[in-house]
Structure 1
């Protein structure tokens, strides 16, 4: 039987990030294996998409940048990351708005936006360079049986399918078959909306500014991207809409789509000029009813999938990664799968999870309710952030993940 200290099931952005953090933090004797069901591309391969358009993007908070810097990934990643120098939040048809600027806090940026293929290229390159983590791809963990110390696994695609791991990390996505096979139930809240995703270009420079505009149909976000050719101004669009409207706009002619987007966003960036491929994703809040058992921990989208407002889902997952690894490093090899150790991780991270999930769940509904008194309160609250500096600073610290991560020092449980 193959023996490993930690097996990570899932080689997406969360799984690879966890593998890199473990490799950077645990003793050299720790045996770590990453198992991914799809064949991972070569780390030196260029992303297979047109560089101007047709790529989903991730907004990395300031705390996520710090996590990647500590694990040695940021230097390779930052060449593809567009800094968010400011964030403008507004409510369409209302007077309330606020502007948050990195310069007000002496930060290099409030966050960064990177297209997922470039993020994947940087992570896979770092994974292969560090040389510590064994990678099985394509392969899948298809069976889990609790054992006295950890879990016994069936690994399809491995030369020997019989494995024993001190800790199994389930990180195979929102529709995790491994999580389901363990009998872990999931709470779901269906929002009855879809996110329309596309990259768009426009006439005026975005100057590193992100926009979050709340409309009657839901939030409309534009996240700044680096130009793919000189003089280009482009951003990643995340537009929350009723499913029928989102599907219609995803399939209509470009001119009709740009006209609708112009009407929804306005002319702060001038006229919209072009859109890439448009995709729709139904919006559902999913939370795993269990995140840990003896020898097992559920992470990433398998643990919690959030509404995209404020782009907090992946950033929360990275903070989970940092907290778990810090807890395991303190516990030592004998405690990687120990239930008391995993409970210590979860207790330390639970407040961050509850606060982030709760905010992403309640914020869109708050701005969509049409009560006049509530609308006035919303507008006053937005405008008041620019007046109440301490309140605004605390709001920004939480939005950037700094309050949860800690501004200095190691991330310790």
Structure 2
């Protein structure tokens, strides 16, 4: 008997809690790779095909995500990249430097015979592209609806779904929690996240500079914390707009938010320097406290955490969503193998196998991101001199630079291949 046998009393095979970028990508990947699997997405925001615009008009204040080259390959496998690339700004170069010191390293896509090291894509555009594809699949949506509780059942899980004031029950073989870390569902289900605060906040905004970004991303480490400027706007023209991630402590954040835009630009100029000329405009500012969050055991029988629900990183290295994507593809690979073997997607052995395969990637990525913040957070002269020497050495040693580039580009680690046998990037 398989999990899709006629004696199966489950309403669906997999319920995904959260229809954001992680949940929607997982749903689409499952529809592509395991078409026989019944997938239901529960999302708190309403969804309607009528709400999808006929054309996309980018907004200056749009929030965006940095996609590594490896993430582009994943979206290519999902058949999504051709449309996504219409509004994806390439990152052709990365410049990493220590503000006010001599240390710097540079990565160039041409060195690695790639079109780009990564891309910057508006979150809304990514969401619209995913929705268009999903509406053409058999994925079922419960929206607006919220999963408020779950209990184990004989065949997997029984989920309580709240729609307005009504509570209904759905039985499934597996629940995937993909709603980030803020809903509280993770904690309701008894998972124990480990939080490490950086005593810093991320201020996110789009900015305009007098000089063109030249498709270069800047990672700038300062005595007040790291900042990043990512090329944003046109996919083909090197414009003057960049996406800013600015790290500030509580007092600095309060001061900056209270400033008029002209003063914000001056403060930013003082922190970043003049590599992009003068800052002439700053858009709507969003902010959130920075915390490294990990869940050591993100799976249990019938339940798995993915994306920010399982791990949330400091954003300055741009690794969070790319790590999540690689994890999603690893999970898809295991679900496909389970389907081939006639096993339930909620089988604990299947979920533990997913965890074992994904764990080395998230451990290395967490260590990489966290160590950048810790190393560049020290202002002591010996530490500063050592990291400057490290940046220069990284710039001069091809082998070390290739390893650094491989991490930045998100290549390596396992991912599902939608058409054909599962492989690793390392093969």
After TM superposition, the score normalised by the length of structure 1 is 0.94
CA separation in 1, counterparts of 2:290 and 2:55? 27
| Structure 1 runs not aligned, ≥5 long | none
Alignment of 1:145-224 (within 5 A): 145-157=151-163, 161-224=168-231
- Answering whether residue 269 of structure 2 is matched by residue 262 of structure 1, we say yes
Q: Please state if 1:143 is matched with 2:149.
A: yes
Does structure 1 retain, via aligned residues, the 8 Å contact 2:211–2:277? Answer: yes
In the alignment, which residue of structure 2 is the partner of 1:14?
22
- Give the 3-state SS of the residue equivalent to 1:322 in structure 2: helix
Name the SS for the 2:396 alignment partner: coil
Residue 359 of structure 2 is aligned to residue 359 of structure 1: no
Is contact 2:68–2:322 with CA below 8 Å preserved after alignment?
yes
User: Is 1:310–2:285 an aligned residue pair?
Assistant: no
- Please state how far the C-alpha of 1:290 moved relative to its aligned partner: 2.6
How far apart are the structure 2 equivalents of 1:203 and 1:242? 28
Q: Is the 8 A contact 1:43 1:121 kept in 2?
A: no
Q: How does 1:50-89 map to 2 (within 5 A)?
A: 51-89=58-96
The 1:33–1:298 alpha-carbon spacing in structure 2 relative to 1, beyond 3 Å, is: same
Could you list the per-position Cα deviations for residues 78-127 of structure 1 after superposition, in whole angstroms to 9, with x for gaps in the alignment?
11110000000000111110110111111111000011111111111121
Task: Give the length in aligned residue pairs.
Answer: 411
Output the CA distance in 2 between the equivalents of 1:311 and 1:9.
24
8 A Cα contact 1:36 1:139, kept in partner: yes
Distance 1:283 1:378, change over 3 A: same
State the distance in 2 between where 1:326 and 1:201 align.
42
Which one is further off, 119-128 or 160-169? 160-169
Distance 1:255 1:48, change over 3 A: farther
Give 1:156 deviation, angstroms. Answer: 2.2
Distance 1:67 1:389 in 2: 27
- SS at the partner of 1:153? strand
* 1:53–1:275 CA contact under 8 A, matched in 2: no
Whole-angstrom CA distance in 2 between matches of 1:231 and 1:399:
21
Residue 202 (structure 1) shift:
1.0
Distance in 2 between residues matched to 1:199 and 1:370, nearest whole Å: 28
The gaps in structure 2 that reach 5 residues or longer are: 1-8
Matched with 1:372 is 381
1:389 aligns to 2:398 (yes or no)? yes
Deviations 1:239-297 (A, max 9, x none): 00112112221231111111111111111111111111112211111112431010100
Structure 1 distance, partners of 2:127, 2:319, is 18
- Contact residue 258 and residue 275 of structure 1 kept, 8 A: yes
3-state SS in 2 of match to 1:149: coil
CA deviation map 1:3-55 (0-9, x unaligned): 211110111100000001101100x3211111101113647634999844222
CA contact (8 A) 1:225 1:234 kept: yes
Contact 2:291–2:313 (8 Å) recurs in 1? yes
Q: Distance in 2 between matches of 1:47 and 1:118?
A: 12
Question: Larger deviation: 208-217 or 271-280?
Answer: 271-280
Residue 134 of structure 1 corresponds to 140
**How many Å apart are 1:217 and its aligned residue?**
1.0
8 Å Cα contact 2:89-2:234 kept in structure 1: no
CA distance in 1, matches of 2:16, 2:338: 18
